Structure 1
Amino acid sequence: MISVVIIGNGNVAHHLEKTFLKASGIHVSRINSRSLNDIPKADVTILAVSDNAIASVSLKITNSFVVHTSGSFSMEALQNKESKGVFYMLQTFTKEKEVDFSQVPFCLEASSQTGYLLLEKLAKSFGNKVYPINSAQRKALHIAAVFVNNFTNHMYKIGNDICEKHQVPFDILFPLIDETAQKIKTLSPQLAQTGPAKRNDTETIKNHLELLNQEQQEIYKILTRSITDATR
């Protein structure tokens, strides 16, 4: 039986607790990061707190093995005095949306081999994709994730704004979005690229720019130039 304490009250803490409760061989408890006076002893203490709180919260913990769930902060951000590690799940989490952890990549790091094996056992209790990833690699992964997730989602937002302005249903674009996401599973992103920027279709690009507001034009020009440069 692995004992786990989760500290945090956000989306990651919510989904971790919910999933650990269903897993066999794990005893889990969760406390709010503001209530650190009586932290239960545990084999693994998981800090699912904001990045800026990792140092201050970990400093107050005396448990033997403390890990955080951040993609952008190094393992050394933890200020506890004993073993430390990282239990990073490369996925976007919202409380209202169920997560299939069997498809979530677990990026693990620990200050000792014993600690790593414990995290690996914990991840494999409900996940299938486990990777040893050091702090430098994880930081690069997190930046890549911002591009493919956060920035891409903002592109959806801009596309939705354009559709609303011209009274076109945004869901007309759903099959295109789905096909693009599926395509890069078999082709490299560069080979999957299509559109006026790749074709250097200057007349279409000009027509597009005339429909956009100033901020949208700036984004369009930057992305168009980047695509054009990548295809030379």
Structure 2
Amino acid sequence: MNESPGRCVVVGTGRAGAAFSRALAATGWVVTSVPARPITANTASQKELTELAEQVALADVVLIAVSDTAIETVAAALPGSSALYLHASGASGLDLLAPHQRVGSLHPLMSLPDAETGARRLLDHCTFAIDGDPLLRDIVESLGGQAVEVAPSQRVAYHAAATIAANHLTALCAQIERLAEEVGVPVAAYWSMMSNTLDNVAARGAADALTGPAARADWVTIRAHLAALPSDDDRRLYRACCAAAARLAGHQVPADIDGP
């Protein structure tokens, strides 16, 4: 039997914390999961604090998997040790972990919708943005992932791109769901089209993969689309994406399409 990579205390039992706990345990880490709420709310009992101190003292890694606004509070409340203290935030720097000597950040470039799905994705050749202690690369390797160093000055821009890729895409999917239902076309047909589009982008790059009326500067069709959309919200979203697509194709966008 292979030797365990080490001991890890995961602070935070939400979707990210639970996914990391499962993924690390599946690869042999000895994992202890600790809820963050008693720490952030300052309601932890003396017994809980003593147990936490004992767990941290034995740990090789302490992973803080909480919201960005809670990282500093949790880090300051955790007892010090020789462990590597990490947070799982994409946008935050290492300054939030300042009370501790060995620090780093480990952010999966992957959406984690629930513990089971998230753990599976973390173990499926996931890309992790890292910064800090060299041990981070060993942690990523133990998960079967790929480590990419993102400098502190670039972390916010990196996370903005991740937000666009995940959250903004989801907002577009919500618009497609609404319109598919209205016109009576199975939404799965649109998902298939989107999947093919992502394959094209991956193979050729966004500019070469672009098709449709914006790529052709077909303003007549685009204006017809805008007139057919059922709400002002749908038109605003369509207009913004269409104008961006047209500029990607190198076209001068008419004011009535490029407007607010």
Structure 2: stretches of 5+ with no match in the other structure: 40-48, 251-260
Q: Deviations over 1:48-103 (max 9, x none)?
A: 00110001100011233211000011111223232211011111001152425232
For 1:139, give the aligned amino acid. Answer: V
Structure 1: stretches of 5+ with no match in the other structure: none
Task: Go from structure 1 to structure 2 and tell me whether the alpha carbon gap of 1:68 and 1:100 turns closer, same or farther (over 3 Å shift).
Answer: closer
For 1:202, give the aligned amino acid. Answer: W
Q: Deviations over 1:152-190 (max 9, x none)?
A: 111111011011122222112122111011112211111
For 2:8, give the aligned amino acid. Answer: V
Q: Distance in 2 between matches of 1:120 and 1:220?
A: 41
Whether contact under 8 Å (2:9, 2:31) holds in the other structure is: yes
Indicate which of 115, 132, 137 corresponds to 2:154.
Answer: 137
Indicate which of 12, 16, 23 corresponds to 2:16.
Answer: 12
Q: Distance in 2 between matches of 1:169 and 1:85?
A: 45
TM-score, structure 2 as length reference: 0.82
1:142, distance to aligned residue in structure 2 (A): 1.1
Aligned residues: CA RMSD: 1.6
Match of 1:126 in 2: 143
Match of 1:187 in 2: 204
User: Is 1:107 matched up with 2:111?
Assistant: no
TM-score, structure 1 as length reference: 0.91
Q: Distance in 2 between matches of 1:12 and 1:225?
A: 35
Q: Distance in 2 between matches of 1:152 and 1:122?
A: 29
1:209, distance to aligned residue in structure 2 (A): 0.7
Match of 1:72 in 2: 91
Q: Distance in 1 between matches of 2:243 and 2:190?
A: 24
Q: Which has the higher helix share?
A: 2
User: Is 1:21 matched up with 2:25?
Assistant: yes
Indicate which of 160, 163, 168 corresponds to 2:180.
Answer: 163
Q: Distance in 2 between matches of 1:179 and 1:57?
A: 43
Match of 1:31 in 2: 34
Of structures 1 and 2, the larger Rg is shown by 2
SS at 1:72 equivalent: coil
Indicate which of 3, 23, 30 corresponds to 2:7.
Answer: 3
Tell me which moved more, 42-51 or 71-80: 71-80
1:46, distance to aligned residue in structure 2 (A): 0.3
Q: Distance in 1 between matches of 2:192 and 2:152?
A: 37
Tell me which moved more, 101-110 or 186-195: 101-110
User: Is 1:224 matched up with 2:245?
Assistant: no
Task: Go from structure 1 to structure 2 and tell me whether the alpha carbon gap of 1:127 and 1:137 turns closer, same or farther (over 3 Å shift).
Answer: farther
User: Is 1:206 matched up with 2:209?
Assistant: no
Match of 1:83 in 2: 102
Q: Deviations over 1:22-55 (max 9, x none)?
A: 213x221110012442321211100000110001
Identity %: 23
For 1:221, give the aligned amino acid. Answer: R
Match of 2:81 in 1: 63
Whether contact under 8 Å (1:60, 1:80) holds in the other structure is: no
